[in-house]
Chains A and B, each alone.
Chain A
Amino acid sequence: MRFRPRNVRSRLTLWYVLVLASLLALYAGVASLFLFLSLREDFDQNLLQDVETVEGMLTKEPNGGVSLHSSHPGAAEPRIGRLIEVWSPQGSLLYRSAELQDRTLGGPPRPDEGLRDPSPSTTRLPNGAPVRLASSVYHVEDQRVVLRVAYNEERLWRELGEFGQVLLLGFPIALFLAGFGGYALARKALAPIDSMATQAKTISAERLGDRLSIETPEDELGKLGTVFNDMLGRLQTAFDQLRRFTGDASHELRTPLTAIRSVGEVALQDQRSPAEYRDVIGSMLEEVDRLTRLSESLLALSRADAGHIQLQREDTSLVHVAREASSLVEVLAEEKRQRIDIEGNAELLVSVDRLILRQAIVNLLDNAIKYSPAESRILVRVQSEGDKQVSLDVVDQGPGVPSEHQPYVFDRFYRVDKARTREWGGTGLGLSITRWAIEAHGGGITLKSEEGRGSTFRISLPLAKYSSTSQTKGGSQ
């Protein structure tokens, strides 16, 4: 099983320590190498000097052998670790330090030994101990001898080992301190996250107005906090809309229900003629019809919100769709002796679900007809907006929408004049559905209006070749 610390703090510390440890190991390796090289340099230097010293001490014995004598007291003392062999060029051993016992520093000399490169080399004694060996050729009186001096490398290695020990002792301490420091650092760096989490826990659906406190908006965590706060803001808006929507919906349901109830109760209070009963029942059925339509509209919107409505897109002339919409409702305009004029280039194509877009335009035209005075003119104008967008304006000469109402006209159940719209049998959802329809097509809808000077609803849609071919899913709020 892999070891995986649970919190970021420990993970950060662990990584930190691991990286530090490998860096230290690399450092120790390089340092040891350099130390070794420089120690051996000194070692060799000593050895070479010693060779000269030993040369001076060589004395010929009467029996043909060689011995060591020195004018300096103590110099002839056998130095610990200093091994000496003296050979005749013919290969007979003339002298050997007692320390060597019967081991040899390499047997009889090679013919060119000691004549060339004086630098020492490493060799091994028969028992495997590594020694540093230097050879030279020397004349003791008239005799030519080959002198070998060797130092046991043990000393060299011991010094290196001591250095290593110091390092090894220091490493864990350094790592421990670094780990501790790293942990403290990570803790300090991550502390704002902890406090954010604590604050976020207290923010519930009922207290969406709360925000995280951000001390440093510039740094990474501050940005995270800001993003989180923005998201809370959007959530709050959504919740508020939902709450208002639920309230409005229940109000809209209650109105027809109240009518049904009171009409029925009053009718039952005394005897009436069948014709009167018919009238009562008819009146109740009218309210039922209103409820049915309301539930259908709500369902359509909720399906749209859930993205369940698939658009059947086809490339269509926006002007043609506008004409279709207009031909559907033009009788209503005729009744008020209004005129619907459609202007624009019929070659501007949009990729839309014809039925859904037509319904959206019908809703706008219906609004315009309702609010405009008799004998006025309603203008539908299609024009390109730049080379990627096309807009459709529905311009009426009605009373306009007061500016304080304008931001809300597309909200569900929002009514500018509550009594009047209901009288016309509207559900208060027409413009919401229109907005959904336009946004589902990747477009937008805006209202420009001045009180007393008419309203202009503007639909903007991408031109056919620029609209995305993928199926756009609905969802307006």
Chain B
Amino acid sequence: MRILVVEDEAKVARALREGLEREKYEVVVAPTGEEGFFLVNAEEFDLVILDLMLPGRDGLQVLATLRKRGLQTPVLILTARDAIEERVRGLDSGADDYLVKPFAFPELLARVRARLRRGRVEQSPNLRLADLEMDVVTRKARRSGQNLELTAREFELLEYLLRHKEQVVSREMLARDVWKETARATPLDNVMDVHINRLRRKVDEPFERKLIHTVRGVGFVLREEE
């Protein structure tokens, strides 16, 4: 899987490269719009991550030209929040998705996975991790064969974490996907903490092996090892 990152800010570019390479993607960084444009014409990529604010040729122009030439590669745009109109323009000019700066890295990873997965047959996720298993049809969750008594919200939260097992899930992702809130306000953070704590009490506390982990400053992850 090859990803082209067009980003002029060196620190961000480096972080993106390292983060994505750690996830076993092959990453090429282009620091300018021109270079990105050249690379995408010359080589094959599975995904382009494009910053909109670039020196010289700006991201939107690059994107529009590429789409005009019939390039089908999915493009994920990075943009600033105060440019709602820009986002719309971005999607008009052929972007597949956008992410608002400053974005959380787990969120970026989730979007990248979603983009690369699209178009293929989605294997039904195995809602199982170690001795935890969930059945979304009967809405039952069991650990080591014992039924877990979960509220509706707790079930949704655990299901989301399980579907993203071994991936860090940010608070933004939870706010949007579990709570369906567009704005992540302070009260919601506290609400999340309460729910995670309750979930821990039911899922982890009675058992030896802990599955729910907090990644400080980033989010939460469901995985086997510490």
Contact = CB atoms under 8 A, between A and B. Distances in A.
A211 B134 CA distance: 72
A282 B216 contact: yes
Nearest to B217: A285
Interface in B174-202: 179, 181-191, 194-195, 198
Given A328-B191, A331-B191, A283 B217 contact: yes
A225 interface: no
A61 B27 CA distance: 147
Interface string A285-322: 11011001101100110010000100000000000000
Contact of B183 (A279, A284, A332, A359): A359
Interface string A357-376: 00100110110000000000
B186 A332 contact: no
A355 B185 CA distance: 12
B185 A359 contact: yes
A430 interface: yes
A43 to B, nearest CB: 90
B160 to A, nearest CB: 17
Contacts of B82: 299, 303
**Residue in B102, B185, B189 with the greatest tally of chain A CB atoms within 10 Å:** B185
Contacts of A359: 183, 185
A295 B183 CA distance: 13
A331 B189 CA distance: 12
A293 B218 contact: no
B15 interface: no
A121 to B, nearest CB: 91
B216 A293 contact: no
Contacts of A164: none
B116 interface: no
B189 to A, nearest CB: 7
Given A300-B183, A335-B194, A359-B183, A328 B216 contact: no
A160 interface: no
A426 interface: yes
Nearest to A330: B191
Contacts of A328: 179, 181, 187-188, 191
A427 interface: yes
B215 interface: yes
B191 A332 contact: yes
Nearest to A335: B194
Given A281-B217, A359-B185, A366-B186, A296 B179 contact: no
Contacts of B195: 331
Contact of B187 (A300, A308, A329, A334): A329
B216 A427 contact: no
Given A292-B102, A331-B195, A430 B216 contact: no
B215 A282 contact: yes
Contacts of B198: 331
Contact of A282 (B182, B183, B191, B218): B218
Interface in A177-230: none
Nearest to A430: B186
A296 B218 contact: no
A303 B195 CA distance: 32
B81 interface: yes
B9 to A, nearest CB: 16
The main secondary structure of chain A at its interface with chain B is helix
A261 interface: no
A335 B187 CA distance: 13
A372 to B, nearest CB: 14
B50 to A, nearest CB: 21
A427 B189 CA distance: 13
Nearest to B101: A292
A281 B81 CA distance: 25
A254 to B, nearest CB: 18
Nearest to B151: A331
Nearest to B102: A292
Contacts of A332: 187, 190-191, 194
B179 A299 contact: no
B85 to A, nearest CB: 9
Nearest to B197: A335
A362 B185 contact: yes
Interface in B20-51: none
A453 interface: no
Contacts of A283: 216-217
B22 to A, nearest CB: 15
A297 to B, nearest CB: 8
A424 to B, nearest CB: 8
A332 B153 CA distance: 14
Contacts of B189: 425
A289 B187 contact: no
B216 A286 contact: yes
A234 interface: no
A262 to B, nearest CB: 16
Most chain B CB atoms below 10 A, which of A283, A295, A331? A331
A425 B186 contact: yes
User: In the complex, which of the residues B102, B171, B186 has the most CB atoms of chain A within 10 Å of its own CB atom?
Assistant: B186
A104 to B, nearest CB: 100
Contact of B184 (A293, A329, A430): A293
Contacts of A299: 81-82
Contacts of A288: 102, 217
Contacts of B216: 278-279, 281-283, 285-286
22 contacts: A278-B216, A279-B216, A281-B217, A282-B216, A282-B218, A283-B216, A284-B217, A285-B216, A285-B217, A285-B218, A286-B216, A289-B171, A289-B217, A293-B186, A299-B82, A328-B179, A328-B191, A334-B194, A359-B185, A365-B187, A426-B186, A430-B186
Nearest 6 pairs of A and B residues by beta carbon: A285-B217, A282-B216, A366-B187, A282-B217, A331-B194, A286-B217
Interface of A: 278-279, 281-286, 288-289, 292-293, 295-296, 299-300, 303, 308, 328-329, 331-332, 334-335, 355, 359, 362-363, 365-366, 424-427, 430
